[in-house]
Amino acid sequence: MSTESPCQNPEIRPAGSRSHTAGSRSHTAGSRSHTALETGSPADARSFRCVLVTGGAGFIGCNLVRWILEHRPQTLVINLDALTYAGNPANIADIRDHERHRFVHGDICDEKLVGSLLDEGVDAVINAAAHSHVDRSLMRGDEFVATNVGGVQVILDAIKARPQIRFVQVSTDEIYGSLPPDERCDENWPPAPGNPYAATKAAAELLALSYRNSFGLDVVISRCCNNFGPYHYPEKMIPLFITNLLDGLRVPLYGDGLNYREWIHVEDHCSALVAILESGRSGEAYNISSGTGLTNLELTRRILDLLGKDDSSVEYVKDRPGHDRRYALDSRKIAAELGWQPRHNLKDGLRATCEWFQANEQWWRPIKSGAYRKYYQQQYAERLKSAAI
Ligand code: NAD
Ligand code: TDX
């Protein structure tokens, strides 16, 4: 891996540099590609020379880094990731040596490191580093508070000393909590997080906005619905269910299976984050959704169908405590203000995702061993009779 920052290396000429294709593959059969203009960003969109992406070895982060390298040839990316259990060097293997990308193994809670990276010419931070799994936050909350709140405070303090830097906090639809039937929430809906993970994400938003109010920091917030796509860590529902089914195991559906979620392809989340970075109004939050929602049971049946299985592969298990029943976003604001639209539909995206997991066993098999097995046993042993993986 490169040790010299691409932001400081005069040999790297971002505007004219070739786009990186060697070794990379298209992960999204059936999707239209995004060109530089295709986020739909308004004409007065800002451009950024060097973006610090945190959590860039995780699911959304690695897709975001790849998206920026591919669609913003003028932009250099520093990728800071602590490589927790969810961070994986294999997620960025194909871009490891990209001339506009530098990976730094480190913690967003490390004040000195964050400050020194910002001094490398960074003009924007997109914070995707987090502990992100609701079920783990129900086991213990300390790491969630430390990273999702404490880490954000460290970044904000570092930016406070360098106020020219724009900050995008990657947040979630979960901050709204469970919605009543038939309601959709816009960005003014009051936060009412229903689990410790969601509470830390809501806290981080409030903290970021308080730094804007107190110190004039340039802060924008994104709130996205559930993502799916390549490199999704297989503790989350879609990749867990796909990989279990590929192994001939049953899938553990919580409760009655009627909890309702909206699902977006991760590439659409990435294009929305870039639109928010480039054109989002300071101090604003933007919902991001595909508008496609369904119950977990309906989603499970689609996955079963794609993989040639039936309902006998489903095991209804004890529900998640405090399980939010329904999330549904009104995302007209990002469409109206920033011209952003999703480009993937669930049907094709889900098929492509199943195909990706079928074609990339070498990626997920090592994950589903070792420490993951311990987690799986802890999480499901009592819930799922077929938990012996
Ligand atoms: P993930 O768990 O796959 O990845 C998180 C990454 O953050 C990992 O690479 C991990 O190593 C890194 N990380 C954790 N703690 C860190 C620390 N202290 N310092 C540096 N790096 C650290 O999560 P994800 O699904 O990719 O989510 C990314 C972000 O998007 C999170 O902020 C999450 O809240 C948000 N989000 C996720 C979804 C979703 O459906 N997955 C939806 C909306 C918002
Ligand atoms: O084994 C399971 N069985 C099951 O029925 C798992 C892991 C999940 N579920 C249900 C719970 C949820 O209703 O499926 C739904 C999706 O669960 P997850 O994949 O764990 O995602 P969720 O809890 O909705 O949170 C995700 O979307 C919002 C991300 O993990 C968060 O980081 C993001 O903020």
Work out whether the CA dihedral 144, 52, 266, 203 comes out positive or negative.
Answer: positive
The whole-number pLDDT of residue 199 equals 98
- Residue 262: strand pairing partners: 293
Q: What are the counts of helices (DSSP H) followed by strands (DSSP E) for the chain?
A: 13, 12
8 Å CB contact between 176 and 192: yes
| DSSP 8-class letter at 105 | E
- Identify the nearest ligand to the CA of 223 by its number: 1
Which domains, and CATH codes, for the chain? 46-296+319-380 (3.40.50.720)
Query: 323 CA to middle of ligand 2, Å?
Result: 9
The preferred substitution site among 52, 60, 125, 201 for testing ligand 1, maximizing ligand atoms within 8 Å of CB, is 60
Cα→Cα distances 383→105, 109, 248, Å = 36, 35, 18
Catalytic residues: 173-174, 197
- Binned average pLDDT, 10 residues per bin, the chain of 389 residues: 54 40 32 45 86 99 98 98 98 97 98 98 98 98 98 99 98 98 97 98 98 98 98 98 98 98 98 98 98 98 98 97 98 98 98 98 94 91 63
What DSSP letter does each residue of 128-174 carry, written as one string? --S---HHHHHH--HHHHIIIIIIHHHHHHHHHTSTTSEEEEEEEGG
The pLDDT assigned to 389 comes to 41
As a whole number of angstroms, the distance between CA 132 and CA 135 comes to 9
- Contact status, residue 204 vs residue 210, Cβ threshold 8 Å: no
pLDDT on residue 6:
65
pLDDT at 220: 98
- Token pair recorded at residue 171: 């947040």
Q: 55 C-alpha to center of ligand 1: Å?
A: 6
Predicted pLDDT of residue 87: 98
pLDDT of residue 40: 58
Task: Tell me whether strands 260-265 and 293-295 are parallel, antiparallel or unpaired.
Answer: antiparallel
